[in-house]
Amino acid sequence: MIDQIFLKELRAACPALMVQTDVPMSRYTTLRVGGPADCMAEPSDVEELKAALELARRCDVPVTVVGNGSNLLVRDGGIRGLVIRFGRAFSCSATEGETITAQGGILLSDLAQQALKAGLTGLEFASGIPGTLGGAVVMNAGAYGGEIAQVIESAEVLSSGQILALDRETLGLSYRHSRMQDTGELVLSARFRLQKDDTAAIRARMEDLRVRRQDKQPLNLPSAGSFFKRPVGAYAAQLIDEAGLKGCRVGGAMVSEKHAGFLVNAGGATAADFLALMRQVQETVYKNSGFRLEPEVRIIGEEA
């Protein structure tokens, strides 16, 4: 339960801040599982964000930052302290020449559409990723041969109350990793360097990717996208398939029969179901192939 003194001070310091208590995280994750967050706030601007973070620091209240919840598994016990959610207030963007600058709360699909309208190529891969820009930069998100590291020029991050401008090299982007995962810095915005191209050609590539996703991915069921990282020298989905795990189920959590790299909510799943299924997949794949699969999804919160 959130400290009531902290909650009172938060509302006094940021009277316009949208604050909810005892919030089911299942509403805010694409897996549709997760216990309650003690407190959730959606800042409307950077100053409000900084004020909430500073107050939490002074009151020793833990802080968790989320975006669209598309690469997130929240345990059934929920999240203690304050959850900061980057929403629509942090989704502004602007195009100038061959660059696009956007805030961390914008959906990647919306950013890809903006690039399309401007006749800029490079973000087609992002058109079907359901996450926000901030989370995508933090994990160097990618799909179908493209990734954030290929097109990002710089980012602004919030670090201990200070806004820092980091270039591509300083961001430390590698496979599903960035320096922000180590420092806890928050991505406020990012700038992308793209290239001019024919709008029809860009649209055709995006449509091709849409069709490929529709054909190969279980888009009809709640998931967190690819659940496991790609191991060196192999593909997670292939290893899971070869281990005979398609359709394997624990409670409401299931290895997709359409794409073995996806763990889906087949109905009524809990976070505990997903964690048990994850461990079963890891153990079976290791016994079958010798590869140890690591989760790509971010697993947070407390056990029930």
Cite the active site residues: 176, 226, 296
User: What's the DSSP call for residue 126?
Assistant: G
3-state secondary structure of 11: helix
Could you tell me how far CA 277 lies from the centroid of its own chain? Answer: 21
Round to whole Å and give the CA distance between 20 and 7. Answer: 10
Residue 113 near residue 146, CB atoms below 8 Å: no
Round to whole Å and give the CA distance between 173 and 237. Answer: 24
Round to whole Å and give the CA distance between 50 and 199. Answer: 39
Identify the bridge partners of residue 223 per DSSP, sorted by sequence position: 264
* Amino acid present at 47: E
Helix 46-58 with 4-13: angle, nearest 10 deg: 150
Tokens 């209240």 appear where? 61
Identify the bridge partners of residue 262 per DSSP, sorted by sequence position: 226
Residue 53 near residue 86, CB atoms below 8 Å: no
Q: What angle do CA 144, 265, 252 make, to 5 degrees?
A: 145
